[in-house]
Amino acid sequence: MKEYRGDEFLYLVEIEDGGIGTDHRFFNQTDGSSTIESDEIELNTKDRSGSDYGSVTESLSIEGILTEDDPAIKYIKKQIRKKQFVKITEINTRTLEAEYGSYKIDNFEQTNSNGEFVTYSLDASLNGTIKEKTLVEVPEGAGEDDGVEDVVGAEG
């Protein structure tokens, strides 16, 4: 069995333009995480006691280096301002298996430290359910041919 590396998981955002949605990678993604949490319901009757599942919530976080002409970041900021949900897909690049859902962007932060790369981070909460699919290929991100420096060094 082979262990996974962090760069084998990528996030895509579906950008809608004129009613047509196209998946775009976040350029220079440096970190990503997904979380599934459940509330607890305590059961205490005369026959038994214990715990059961309450509400289940899913969320994700994405971080990266802000890259010129990254359509995903521009779209995320636009959708927050319009109070619109976004479709985000998490891809296992080894198997091309993916999970996607509609997310509310909880926050977007851009950090501009003097002498350092500008970074961004966003947190999102799932609205509805997760769906699964298998991709044919991973959409391209920022590459050498577009004049953008490959800061992360991950090929996709």
Spell out the SS3 assignment of 85-140. Answer: CEEEEEEECCCCEEEEEEEEEEEEEEECCCCCCCEEEEEEEEEEEEEEEECCCCCC
Examine the pLDDT at 153 and tell me if it is beyond 60.
no
pLDDT tens, position by position, 118-136: 999 999 999 999 999 998 8
Q: What is the pLDDT of residue 147?
A: 38
pLDDT tens, position by position, 32-47: 999 999 988 887 877 7
* Range with lowest mean pLDDT among 43-47, 88-92, 94-98, 146-150: 146-150
Examine the pLDDT at 154 and tell me if it is beyond 50.
no
Confidence grade of residue 51 (pLDDT, cut at 50, 70, 90): confident
Mean pLDDT value across residues 106-125? 95
Parallel, antiparallel, or unpaired: how do β-strands 20-25 and 29-44 relate? unpaired
Domain positions in the chain are: 8-37+55-140
Mean pLDDT value across residues 93-122? 95
What is the CATH T-level fold of the domain 8-37+55-140, as seen in this structure?
Answer: Pnp Oxidase; Chain A (2.30.110)
Q: How many CB atoms lie within 10 A of CB 28?
A: 23
CA atoms 147, 121, 91, 5: torsion sign: positive
